[in-house]
Amino acid sequence: MRKTEKANIPSNEAIIKMIPSKAMREYLQKTGHEFSLCEEAALIYQNPLLRQDERLDALNEIAKTLHLPENACLQFPTYRNCRDGSPDSGEKITATELATQIESHIKSDMEIETALFRNTLEGVYEVDCSVKNESLRGQPYDTFSCPAFSSIEKAIDYVMTGENDKLLDFIVTLRKIDEGDKYVSGTFNGKGELLRVDSSFIGTQAFDSDNRLDNFYCEIPYHFNDGDIVQDLSSGRIGVVNHLGGEKDGKLKNICKRYRDSSDIIVPVDSLDDDGNFVYEPFYTPCVDYAPRLDYSKGDGEFLYEASLLVQGKGSLEYFCNMVKKQNLR
C-alpha cells in the first residue's frame, strides 16, 4: 500500500454500509483488512441493500474528508490501463478528483429523487414488484406489474397495503407521457424504504465517466472455499463456490486484464438455472454469505449438496451423474 493511498480499518458502522454480508464483515475485521477512502466510497455506492439516505450521508462525509488539507496529496488506483493487473502501473485518481466525482453522484441522485417524488416530468407512475418464491432454480422471486398511478404516494400505498409478507422489493418508474424512453425510477425494499435511483437522462455526465463510483474495482479477499453453499444477499440466489483451479484470495492476478471494474468483484459460483442445470454465475463479493439452512435430503436441495461434495472432492461422481439422469427424466 503506497503512502499516498492512506487506508484504514473501517469502523463497525462504516463496514456495515460497505459490506452487506455478515460473514464477509467478520472475516475482513478478523484479518484487519484495510480500505482506502476510494474503496469505501465505491463499496458504499455499490451496496444494493443500503438505503439511499444512508448512502448519500456516508458519501458526503467521505467527500468532506477528502477535501481536508492533509489529504490533498492522496492518489488512488483506478485499475485502468494496468500492466499485468498491477494497480501501481495504471492511472490514478486524486483526492480532489474523487471528491468531485462523489459530489457529482450525490447531486445527480438528489435530482433524480426530486424528479421522482415531485413528478417534474408530468408523467405516469409504473410499478414492478418482486415477491419471494421457494425455488432453488432460476431467480428466487417472481415479478408482476401493477396498474399505472397518478402519484408516487398512490403507487407506494398500493404496494404496501397489499399482502406483502413475501415482498422483496419494488421499482417505481415515472415515465414522461409520449416519451417513454425518458424516465426516472426508484427501487424500494419490502419496507417501502428507498434504496437507489436511476434515470435515462439525469446525471449522464457522472455516470458516463470511466471512473464512476458504480464502476470502481476494489480488491476484497474472502474466505469462501470450493464447495461452500452460499447465497447472494442481493438476488437471493443460492449456489456452490467453484474456482475451477483459479485463485481464491479475491484477486484476479491470474486474469491478464488491462482494465478492471466492479463486475470483477466476484466469488465464482455455480447455481441452478430454470431447467435444473448448473451454470456459472458470479456473485458480487460484498453480498456473499453462507446460505440459510436447507433441506438437503431431497429435490434440488440434495442436488446442491451433492454438487458441493463433488467440488470438494468428497462426493461420488457416479451418484451425481445418476441424479442428473433422473433430473433430465422429470
How does residue 259 score in pLDDT terms, banded at 50, 70 and 90? low
Do 79 and 211 share a structural domain? yes
Planar angle of CA 293, 294, 299, nearest 5 degrees: 170
For 179, phi then psi, to 5°, come to -140, 65
Q: What confidence score (pLDDT) does residue 49 get?
A: 95
75 and 211 housed in the same domain: yes
Q: What pLDDT does residue 144 have? A: 84
pLDDT of residue 221: 92
Whether residue 223 is contained in a domain is answered as no
Q: Are 130 and 146 in contact (CB under 8 A)?
A: no
Domain that holds residue 91: 3-108+207-215
User: pLDDT of 129-170, one tens digit each?
Assistant: 988 877 788 777 888 888 899 999 999 999 988 766 788 899
Q: Any idea which residue has 435511483 for its cell?
A: 197
Flag whether 277 is in a domain.
yes
174 to 120, 122, 304: CA distances (angstroms): 9, 9, 41
Say if 12 falls within a structural domain. yes
Q: Which amino acid is at 300?
A: D
Q: Look up residue 72 and give its three cell numbers.
A: 490533498
User: What percentage of the chain exceeds 70 in pLDDT?
Assistant: 85
Which range, of 54-58, 85-89, 96-100, 323-327, averages the lowest pLDDT?
A: 85-89
Distances (CA, A) of 250 to 90, 199, 232, 238, 253: 19, 32, 16, 19, 9
Q: What mean pLDDT comes out for the span 60-86?
A: 82
Of 186, 215, 244, the residue that ends a domain is 215
- pLDDT greater at residue 303 or residue 209: 303
Which range among 69-73, 94-98, 206-210 shows the weakest confidence by mean pLDDT? 206-210
Rounded (10°) angle between helices 95-118 and 52-66: 150
The verdict on 132 and 189 lying in the same domain is yes
Is 287 contained in some domain?
A: yes
Q: Which of 215, 242, 267 is the last residue of a domain?
A: 215
- What's the mean pLDDT in 189-208? 83
Residue 85, domain member (yes or no):
yes
Q: Residues 96, 211: one domain?
A: yes
Q: Find the range with the poorest average confidence among 36-50, 101-115, 261-275.
A: 261-275
Q: What is the DSSP letter of 4?
A: G
Structural domain contains residue 98: yes
Contact at 8 Å (CB) between 237 and 271?
A: yes
User: Do 135 and 102 have their domain in common?
Assistant: no
Q: Are residues 93 and 125 in the same domain?
A: no
Does the structure show a pLDDT above 50 at 250? no
Asked, for residue 296, whether it belongs to a domain, the answer is yes
Alpha-carbon distance 88 to 247, whole Å?
21
pTM of the model: 0.88
Query: Do 211 and 81 fall into the same domain?
Result: yes
Please check whether residues 9 and 104 belong to one and the same domain: yes
253 confidence band (pLDDT: 50, 70, 90): very low
Q: Are residues 253 and 173 in the same domain?
A: no
- Report if residue 255 sits inside a domain: yes
Indicate if 89 and 167 belong to the same structural domain. no
How many domains, in total, are found in the chain? 3
Helix (H, G, I), strand (E, B) or coil at 50: coil
| Domain's final residue, options 167, 202, 237 | 202
Q: Which residue blocks in the chain are alpha helix, DSSP H?
A: 12-18, 22-31, 37-46, 52-66, 95-118, 152-160, 204-207, 299-312, 317-329
Q: Are residues 264 and 123 in the same domain?
A: no
For residues 114 and 162, give the distance between their C-alpha atoms in angstroms, rounded to a whole number: 26
- Identify any residues that bridge with 179 across adjacent strands, giving them in sequence order: 176
Identify whether residues 172 and 190 lie together within a single domain.
yes
